[in-house]
Amino acid sequence: MRSGPTSFSAPPPLPSSKSPSASSSASPSSSSPSKSGPIPSPTLGTDLTPERILSHFQQPPFPSQNVLGNDSEIATRAMTHESYKYGKEGQNRRLAFLGRRSLKLSLTLFLHTLSTSPKTSQSTKDWALKLLSDPPKVEEMITTQKLGDRIGRELGLEKVMRWTPALSDGQFGPKETGLFKVRGVCLEALLGAILHNSGADKARLFFNSKVLPSLVEQFFPEDTPTEAKELCETLANEAGESL
């Protein structure tokens, strides 16, 4: 009956379970990246060559005549966000600045045409003039994020963008964010590149063909007159034939 207790007199082999290797693996310093800090966000587009980026603009939904000519350098710059490798390989900020001004001018010309055309009814003229007199409302219609959400997606810009997503805390851990904003910046930069490479007329035609229809359909006020939609369709068709 006393043999039972004596079987527990020998100490269990605890030292082997606390070997230096096991101890170090359990130490905070060797914990996983998710516990020690944020997971680095991957840089996207590192495998894209200038020729591959340019070829994207030489096929539908883009016009048959390449709006960027054969300039792969400016195509690459337009699709390179400043978050890509910290801007060390160029970035599209200046082109986006130029393109956004071109976009706003083209939209203003569209509204001005509505407000002055002899074919337009007085109610439509009044509507256009009211919108022109409210710059913040016009600005709200063409925020960079809205441009990237709808029009940038229609043009498939994410396929040739070079950028680094931001990370935010989500319900199930870190998640990548910033796609709409970056895609909108790249759309603005594309307009800037067209303006720089092919001139103001080509940039305006591209706006009328590929940007304006989605703006009118998706982001114009709900009370947009039928005449405005008809003019948009006419300009888009004419631009499509000219590009």
pLDDT digits (tens, 9 = 90+) for 75-92: 999 999 999 998 888 999
pLDDT digits (tens, 9 = 90+) for 42-88: 899 999 999 999 999 999 999 877 789 899 999 999 999 999 998 88
CATH architecture for the domain at 47-242: Orthogonal Bundle (1.10)
User: 48 near 177, Cβ under 8 Å?
Assistant: no
Query: Using only C-alpha atoms, what is the Rg of the chain?
Result: 28
Q: How many CB atoms lie within 10 A of CB 71?
A: 18
Domain spans of the chain, in order of start:
47-242
Measured between alpha carbons, how far is 232 from 218 in angstroms, rounded to an integer?
A: 13
Tokens 């895609």, residue? 183
Instruction: Evaluate if pTM is beyond 0.85.
Output: no
Sequence-ordered list of residues with C-beta below 8 angstroms from that of 204, at least 6 positions apart, any chain:
102, 106, 109, 239
Helix ranges, 119-199 (H): 122-132, 135-141, 144-146, 152-154, 179-198
